[in-house]
Amino acid sequence: MQKIINDLWYARRDLISDGFDSALNYISELIPLSIIEIPTGTECWTWIVPPKWSLSEGWISNGGEIVLDVSDHPLHVMSYSQPIRKRIKKEELMAHIYTYPERPNAIPFGFSYYENNWKFCIQHNKLAEFREDNYDICIDAKFTEGTLKVGELVIPGKSKQEIALIAHLCHPSMANDNLSGVAVLIETALELLKQSQNKYTYRFLFLPEAIGSLAYLSQNEYLIPSIKYAIIVDSVGHNDVLSLQHSRQANTELDICASYVFKDETLMYREGAINKICGSDERIFNGPGVDIPSICISRFKFMGKGGWPYPEYHSSDDIPDIIIIDNLVETKNIIIKMLDILNKNYVPKRNFKGPICLSRYGLWVDSNKDRRLSLSLSDIMSSLEGDKSVLEIAKEVGISFSDLFVWLDKLHKENLLRRQSGVPD
Ligand SMILES: [Zn+2]
């Protein structure tokens, strides 16, 4: 995962750009991606696919020397800036300078995809160096017809029902946001490709944030009814605990499963409602008229409490050095475990009356070997009325999903219960 991040992070992966396309091609060497193209100008519900943006030059000169040059750092020119070349007064230039006063040595990530504007992004501490009255400026940018690209990998399951796994690949010259999510999903896909066929079909999507989801879903509306759940992975590599943002529906099988796995796998984590932690592609997948229950896994802090999602967010400080590989591995393991539970989960319905004579069927559990399961057997036997899933019973009774699954499997083999398909949300 480290190599993926090191190889891709510095490139200009703007929304629709050569850099984005090269990154998708890079990923398709690792996993068998199909690349879906949606042309500039395509109406995507209330949105329109923007043009391709390319930048060949961007600098500010004080007449004698260049004082800022995009060749020193790609973030120095705001993404999707309009082209401009002229001599301007300092006041006018300052109205087009973007800085982060709270992080004065970092270059901010600026973007203006849907409004015509231009800006230079610089370290706040460098403002003092602008002492001349006039400056020559140049942004040599081109807007051309292009195609928005979505990298798609479908791993077929036994069922046509799907789980979508999504990471955005845009954002030039930044690592954690969101090559961390991209690397985690590539690794997850590689692991799932090795497994035997699961119940669910998996649909991996690598796309430009927001507009990529809008374009993909609006041009493939027929897919929406078969996507049961979506998992969005955003900024999961930096040094912080994991954050689970629930779906808008809040209490679906996916939400219950995610809460259960987070609690089981991590010592500390944040948990919050939709729009309280992230604001990424779940806004589209879980948005009006789409309504796919979607969780977002990140390491963001809660929104609206001042401060940033993480200190290096949307700046030139978001570099590979801030990513902790163990944090990526932890995230991948959590996703794999969630998918495993979702694949195995079902609603058990008893075929017996009265408490089961456990020893007759080899179902008795020695309390010295597994005290928790042994003490829970009566509660479990009373929970097999066909209205709760294995996951819900495990959570209610307080034992592990896998222990319960294995024990119920023995009941199933003895024809003491039926497995009802379809877990109601
Ligand atoms: Zn971002």
Cα–Cα distance list, 186 to 3, 21, 35, 230, 240 (Å): 12, 17, 15, 16, 22
- CA of 295 from ligand 1 middle (Å) equals 17
- CA of 171 from ligand 1 middle (Å) equals 7
Clarify whether residues 73 and 91 are in a common domain.
yes
Q: Which of 111, 141, 171 finishes a domain?
A: 141
The crossing angle, in degrees rounded to 10, of helices 401-413 and 325-344 is 30
Q: What is the pLDDT of residue 262?
A: 97
pTM of the complete model: 0.95
The pLDDT tens digits for 197-210 are: 899 999 999 999 99
Clarify whether residues 171 and 314 are in a common domain.
yes
- CA of 288 from ligand 1 middle (Å) equals 22
Q: Which of 298, 324, 344 finishes a domain?
A: 344
State the residue range of the domain holding 317.
2-50+147-344
The pLDDT tens digits for 149-184 are: 999 999 999 999 999 999 999 999 999 999 999 999
Q: What is the pLDDT of residue 423?
A: 60
CA 154, 155, 158, 159 dihedral sign is negative
- CA of 314 from ligand 1 middle (Å) equals 6
pLDDT confidence bin for 304, thresholds 50/70/90:
confident
Q: What is the pLDDT of residue 422?
A: 62
* The pLDDT of residue 306 is above 80: no
Q: What is the pLDDT of residue 307?
A: 80
Clarify whether residues 42 and 58 are in a common domain.
no
Domain at 368, CATH number: 1.10.10
- CA of 74 from ligand 1 middle (Å) equals 16
Q: What percent of the chain has pLDDT over 90?
A: 95
How many domains, the chain? Answer: 3
Q: Quick one: which of 216, 102, 246 has its CA closest to 152?
A: 216
Clarify whether residues 314 and 402 are in a common domain.
no
pLDDT confidence bin for 267, thresholds 50/70/90:
confident
* The pLDDT of residue 386 is above 90: yes
Clarify whether residues 63 and 14 are in a common domain.
no
- What average pLDDT is seen over the chain? 96
Residues with CB under 5 A from ligand 1 (ion): 177
- CA of 280 from ligand 1 middle (Å) equals 8
The pLDDT tens digits for 290-303 are: 999 999 999 999 99
Among 72-76, 148-152, 195-199, 233-237, the range scoring the smallest mean pLDDT is: 195-199
- CA of 234 from ligand 1 middle (Å) equals 8
- CA of 227 from ligand 1 middle (Å) equals 25
Q: What is the pLDDT of residue 398?
A: 92
CA 97, 103, 106, 110 dihedral sign is negative
Clarify whether residues 340 and 352 are in a common domain.
no
- CA of 143 from ligand 1 middle (Å) equals 22
Q: How many C-alpha atoms does 360 have within 13 Å on its Cβ side?
A: 5
Q: Which of 295, 312, 344 finishes a domain?
A: 344
Q: What is the pLDDT of residue 421?
A: 72
- CA of 347 from ligand 1 middle (Å) equals 39
Given the structure tokens 């990998």, which residue do they identify?
153
* The pLDDT of residue 105 is above 70: yes
Clarify whether residues 161 and 286 are in a common domain.
yes
